[in-house]
Chain A
Amino acid sequence: MRGTKFTVRGWEAVIAFLVHKDGDDVGIAVIDLKKGMTARGKTLTGNREYSLTVLEDIPFGHKIALKNLQKGDKVVEYGEIIGVATQDIPKGAHVHIHNLRSLRWGGE
């Protein structure tokens, strides 16, 4: 029956974040990331692995910076531009609406 087949196994030896495409600036947390932890990540195809220190708590589903980004940098996910950094974003920081803005809507 539903719900029994795919019971979550726990997050042991986990991949903590996933990256859509090699070269992306951000990854997506697939567990709640805690400040100070070393997080392992990989691309969806598994062709590249990452390991970095998490600078602040990042909830499940939210983005983590994979490299240092400067204010004004275009931010890439899926190999495509998803917006612009509105402040400097260090590697390992939470990337969301407080430091990332659409290039299509919401401009001054």
Chain B
Amino acid sequence: MERTVFAYRRKDGKVGVRNWVVLIPVDDISNAIVETVEKSIIGVLSLPHSYGRLQFGKDLDLFFKTLIGIGTNPNVAAAIVVGIEPKWTNKIADSIAKTGKPVEAFWVEGHGQLRTIEKVSRTAVKFVEHVTNVKREPADISELIISLKCGESDTTSGLVANRVVGKFVEKFLDIGGTVLFGETTELTGAEHIVASKFKKEEDRKKFLELFNEYQELIRKQGVDLLGSQPTEGNIVGGLSTIEEKALGNIQKIGNAMINGALDFLEPVPGKGLYFMNTSSAAAEAVTLFAAANAVIHLFPTGQGNPVGNPILPVIKITGNPKTAKAMEEHIDVDISGILTGALDMETATDLVWKRVIETACGRLTRAEILNHKEFVLTKLYRSA
């Protein structure tokens, strides 16, 4: 099994597979600046979003962790943070700077938009020149953090794609890799199985607390998630209940044991397999994993979900032959041959492994090629 990837080794020791200069707006009203700069300078990536004003408490904390986490992700080589005022802007920039990567902060108040655009642009030119001179170096595949989330699942997910990802995960963990999974509500009906896999009792308890916390939030609204979970796409694909969907979902972690349970963007304490509390909505979960410093995402899909992320390459894997044909341009690894007997599980797992190596070395994923840059912050409650 090939293990060497050619990737970017950052000053903090982390290994990234992309080399972006990101322009991070602190708030919705700074999007205009970063979007303007992105249009005039090659090699920069703006990350516009809808939040950053009047958030408070746990929600504000998660907001900061998300933007800081995106900046510290090893797929990011340098960052420019742009906000309306200096305090929050510097807070984010200073935290990213601890990684040792080039970071600058600019704010609009007292300067105006046009002068700020000029300052951001001049810094961006220098950063792009600098980061494009950084060379890829050999690294072991186990140094990568890989995240998992499936989407537009159907019954082929539980039969084929999620099972193959589960086999990949077992192999990857065996050589010391790190894997993150989440989708808290989509474990409903299989949470007892997930709970039984924690290595430590305290993590099992914490997982169940996080799981029950969201179930309680649903109950408090006086509703349930029927109509949302399973989704209409899931139902077309043959999934009938949340329990069935969840039992398919958890095939992604195979028979691996879980090293820990983490709330939203709690630091990943070491190597191994970790549950992280996330939304089950694709773009939200993938963005959260990007902020948790995952550098490659495996996304098994049944009916075909086109989701991508600006900084985290998303590898689409399907076991559904109809989707592989109808949505060909979205699919990176077609393992639908398993259903016809044309492909066995081992070979399919090797195909995923090979694609992870290639993606880590710079091969673009279909989501990247198709310009999918969904950047969706997880919001815990409404702003003040």
Contacts and interface: CB of A to CB of B under 8 A. Distances in A.
Question: Which 5 residue pairs spanning A and B have beta carbons closest together?
Answer: A106-B226, A6-B337, A61-B238, A102-B241, A105-B224
B241 A82 contact: yes
What is the size category of the interface that chain B forms with chain A? Answer: 35 or more
Interface in A37-84: 44, 59-63, 77-78, 80-83
**Among B158, B302, B334, B339: residue with most chain A CB under 10 A:** B339
A105 B229 contact: yes
Contact of A82 (B154, B189, B229, B235): B189
21 contacts: A2-B334, A8-B337, A9-B342, A20-B158, A20-B159, A60-B238, A60-B322, A63-B238, A78-B248, A80-B243, A82-B240, A83-B241, A96-B238, A97-B240, A101-B241, A102-B226, A102-B243, A103-B189, A103-B241, A103-B243, A104-B188
Interface in B132-162: 154-156, 158-159
Interface in A86-103: 95-97, 100-103
Contacts of B321: 8
Interface of A: 2-3, 6-9, 11, 15, 18, 20, 28-30, 44, 59-63, 77-78, 80-83, 95-97, 100-107
Contacts of A96: 235, 238, 240
Interface string B299-342: 00010000000000000000011100000100000111101111
Nearest to A7: B342
Q: Is the interface of A mostly helix, strand, loop or mixed?
A: loop
B362 interface: no
B226 A61 contact: no
Interface of B: 154-156, 158-159, 188-190, 193, 224-226, 229, 235, 237-238, 240-244, 247-248, 302, 320-322, 328, 334-337, 339-343
Contacts of B320: 61
A6 B235 CA distance: 27
Contact of B238 (A62, A102, A104): A62
Nearest to B345: A44
Contacts of A103: 189, 241, 243
Nearest to B163: A44
A28 B341 CA distance: 15
Nearest to A58: B238
Contacts of B339: 18, 30
A80 B337 CA distance: 27
A57 to B, nearest CB: 13
Contacts of A105: 188, 224-226, 229, 241-242
A105 to B, nearest CB: 4
A94 to B, nearest CB: 10
**Among A11, A62, A102: residue with most chain B CB under 10 A:** A102
Given A6-B336, A6-B337, A8-B340, A102 B242 contact: yes
B247 A80 contact: yes
